[in-house]
Amino acid sequence: MLRLKGKKIDIEAGEHTVLLNNIDAERLGVRSQSRVRIDNKGSTASAIVETSNTLVDEGEIGLLEKVFEEVKAKEGDVLKIVTAGRPESIEHIKEKLEGKELSEHAINEIIQDITDYKLSDIELSAYVCGVYSKGMTNREIKDLIWAMIKTGDSIEFDKNPVFDHHSIGGVPGNKITLLIVPIVAAAGMMIPKTSSRAISSAGGTADIFEVLADVTLNTDEIKRIAEEVGGTIAWGGGVNLAPSDDIIIRAEYPLMIDPYPQVLASVLSKKKATGADYLVMDIPVGPNTKVDNMEAGRRYARDFVSLGEEIGIEVRCALSYGGQPVGVAVGPAAEAREALMALEGKEVPTSLIEKSTALAGMVLEQGGVREGKGKEEAKRILESGEALAKMKEIIEAQRGDLEVTSEDIRLGEFTKDVLACDEGYVGSIHNSDIIKIVRSAGAPHDNGAGLILNKKKGDKVEVDEVLFTIFSEHEKKLDEAYKLAKHLDPFDIEGMILESHPEFKTV
């Protein structure tokens, strides 16, 4: 054990890292990538060691910001440092990579160590890769859900029941939550929605709603706003609900992988911790989305329903059309604007209204609206302006601008049109290419990055007509996104069939 003076090191990094002077590292018997435990009068944290000769002097320990905060240190506090062994959970991760079924105990250990930041990036990545490559049984997933809930907070509402909805994503432009939450809340039901940031998409719901309001709410705020206003849209990572989820996402994000069991556990653990009694799941199915065929979509639906039952949530699932982007806007600011336009009654693609009201209707039916009448009621609430009024209340409650309209929202200042090279009809639009282009333009981090489709599936296209417009906050990224767009060519334009020979006439 060593006593060292704490010093904040101002580096943003995902791992919990501390810097030791080489002399102290030697004294403690640790090296780069060793693990230590830090104790500041009872506030403790685990961290991975890196060493330095000059950034920290002998007798000092450098704590990266997150560790500094976790042990509630003040500059110069004397901290106790002890070496920590290799966590047993790494052996369980290895077992998963070998295709073994993990025990409840093993899963608890892995999730506890992830939550405590005991795993390095290399080890965290191995967990994600193990689950991705070898999968999990439903028994393991159930244990994973409970492990993820137990290692965080839960919200206890004074009112009930709690309604919720979630889309597993994969379809660009899926801004439906920004319509569903105000519709359901306007119906007098309580829907405290938490959302992830983008993992492999161009913008998660949290990224999109952040354009309009603060999504970093604490659990007291979520409880208060949901109980007072009826609805919230909060970033799930901003609260301590199933906190392992956001740490795991940190490894999924650069790899752009969403392991199946982790998707189920991520959604259901967050929902359970948020107190959900009822849940409507949107499962978009289409080529080049997360779920590319109906069979896979049904598998998700079955597993969501049965796992929901096991943990006490009544889940209903909708397999939705995921064959092209929802609406025309993709990217955080673009999607926030399109959602507001829909609430304001301005012209938006019918598909966006249809999908949003269908899903909101399912929630309304779980809440007592007569079966088969939910969608109709959702449309009424939307068209009457009740949903817009409720949205304004939610935005205000989340410290956003009450007066905001769709016209106030700015997209990236650098724009470029992508033109058609052929004439014909749009046969298909490749979702995954659209996402890559928007990410390349800077999304989700730059919220003004995005694109607006000028053509959708089935539309007629002339040569040199605009297919879509890319927006970016940086000229360099715009160029990259444009180059990528030309390279990927996300639109299939099917040729006009000419009646060249009467015997080959085709419709």
Q: Which of 76, 85, 312, 368 binds its own copies (CB under 8 A)?
A: 85
Q: Using CB under 8 A, count the residues that bind its own copies.
A: 55
Q: With binding defined as CB under 8 A, does residue 138 bind its own copies?
A: no
Residues 58 and 23 sit within 8 Å (Cβ to Cβ): yes
Number of Cβ atoms within 10 Å of the Cβ of 295: 9
Closer CB to its own copies, residue 37 or residue 224?
Answer: 37
φ and ψ of 373, to 5 deg: -110, 0
Q: Which stretch binds its own copies (CB under 8 A): 7-15, 137-145, 226-234, 321-329?
A: 7-15
Tell me the closest approach of the beta carbon of residue 404 to its own copies, in angstroms: 24
Distance in angstroms (rounded) separating the CA atoms of residues 34 and 60: 17
Q: Which stretch binds its own copies (CB under 8 A): 82-90, 206-214, 316-324, 496-504?
A: 82-90
Q: Which amino acid is at 502?
A: P
Distance in angstroms (rounded) separating the CA atoms of residues 254 and 132: 14
Q: With binding defined as CB under 8 A, does residue 132 bind its own copies?
A: yes
Q: Which of 45, 61, 107, 126 binds its own copies (CB under 8 A)?
A: 126
Closer CB to its own copies, residue 221 or residue 473?
Answer: 473
Q: Which of 24, 477, 482, 493 binds its own copies (CB under 8 A)?
A: 477
Closer CB to its own copies, residue 177 or residue 472?
Answer: 472
Q: With binding defined as CB under 8 A, does residue 24 bind its own copies?
A: no
Site for its own copies in 254-273 (CB under 8 A): 254-257
Q: With binding defined as CB under 8 A, does residue 488 bind its own copies?
A: no
Q: With binding defined as CB under 8 A, does residue 121 bind its own copies?
A: yes
Look at residues 409, 408, 504 and name the one whose alpha carbon lies nearest to residue 447.
409
Residues 444 and 198 sit within 8 Å (Cβ to Cβ): yes
Q: Which of 24, 60, 123, 221 binds its own copies (CB under 8 A)?
A: 123
Q: Which of 44, 112, 120, 405 binds its own copies (CB under 8 A)?
A: 120
Tell me the closest approach of the beta carbon of residue 86 to its own copies, in angstroms: 8
Q: Which of 5, 13, 227, 344 binds its own copies (CB under 8 A)?
A: 13
Look at residues 65, 64, 87, 276 and name the one whose alpha carbon lies nearest to residue 164.
276
Q: With binding defined as CB under 8 A, does residue 29 bind its own copies?
A: yes
Tell me the closest approach of the beta carbon of residue 109 to its own copies, in angstroms: 16
Q: In this structure, are strands 278-285 and 163-167 parallel, antiparallel, or unpaired?
A: parallel
Which residues, in sequence order, are CB contacts of 326 under 8 Å at separation 6+? 171, 172, 173, 174, 175, 176, 284, 351, 352, 355
Q: Which residue has the tokens 């939450």?
A: 181
Is-catalytic flag, 258? yes
Distance in angstroms (rounded) separating the CA atoms of residues 344 and 384: 10
Q: Which residue has the tokens 């939910």?
A: 374
Q: Which amino acid is at 291?
A: V
Q: Which of 37, 44, 97, 367 binds its own copies (CB under 8 A)?
A: 97
Q: With binding defined as CB under 8 A, does residue 134 bind its own copies?
A: yes
Element spanning 222, H or E? helix 219-229
User: Among the options 258, 282, 303, 433, which is catalytic?
Assistant: 258
Q: With binding defined as CB under 8 A, does residue 442 bind its own copies?
A: yes
Question: Could you give the strand order of the β-sheet that contains 414-419, starting from the edge strand earlier in sequence?
Answer: 329-330, 450-453, 466-472, 414-419
φ and ψ of 93, to 5 deg: -60, -40
Q: With binding defined as CB under 8 A, does residue 12 bind its own copies?
A: yes
Q: Which stretch binds its own copies (CB under 8 A): 84-92, 106-114, 145-153, 271-279?
A: 84-92
Q: Which stretch binds its own copies (CB under 8 A): 6-14, 144-152, 275-283, 379-387?
A: 6-14
Closer CB to its own copies, residue 19 or residue 155?
Answer: 19
Q: With binding defined as CB under 8 A, does residue 90 bind its own copies?
A: yes
Q: Which of 5, 37, 55, 296 binds its own copies (CB under 8 A)?
A: 55
Q: Which stretch binds its own copies (CB under 8 A): 88-96, 304-312, 337-345, 490-498?
A: 88-96
Question: Could you give the strand order of the β-sheet that contains 314-321, starting from the edge strand earlier in sequence?
Answer: 163-167, 278-285, 314-321
Number of Cβ atoms within 10 Å of the Cβ of 98: 9
Q: With binding defined as CB under 8 A, does residue 14 bind its own copies?
A: yes
Q: With binding defined as CB under 8 A, does residue 287 bind its own copies?
A: no
Q: Which of 177, 274, 288, 440 binds its own copies (CB under 8 A)?
A: 440
Residues 184 and 191 sit within 8 Å (Cβ to Cβ): yes
Distance in angstroms (rounded) separating the CA atoms of residues 472 and 495: 31
Distance in angstroms (rounded) separating the CA atoms of residues 419 and 262: 39
Residues 246 and 236 sit within 8 Å (Cβ to Cβ): yes
Helix-helix angle 138-150:260-273, to 10 degrees: 40
Q: With binding defined as CB under 8 A, does residue 124 bind its own copies?
A: yes
φ and ψ of 63, to 5 deg: -115, 125
Q: For 49-92, give the DSSP string.
A: EEEESSSS-TTEEEEEHHHHHHTT--TT-EEEEEEE---THHHH
Tell me the closest approach of the beta carbon of residue 11 to its own copies, in angstroms: 5
**Site of interaction with its own copies (CB under 8 A):** 1, 9-14, 19, 29, 31-33, 50-55, 83, 85-86, 90, 93-94, 97-99, 120-126, 128-130, 132-134, 250-251, 254-257, 440, 442, 445-446, 473-474, 476-477, 480
Catalytic positions:
258
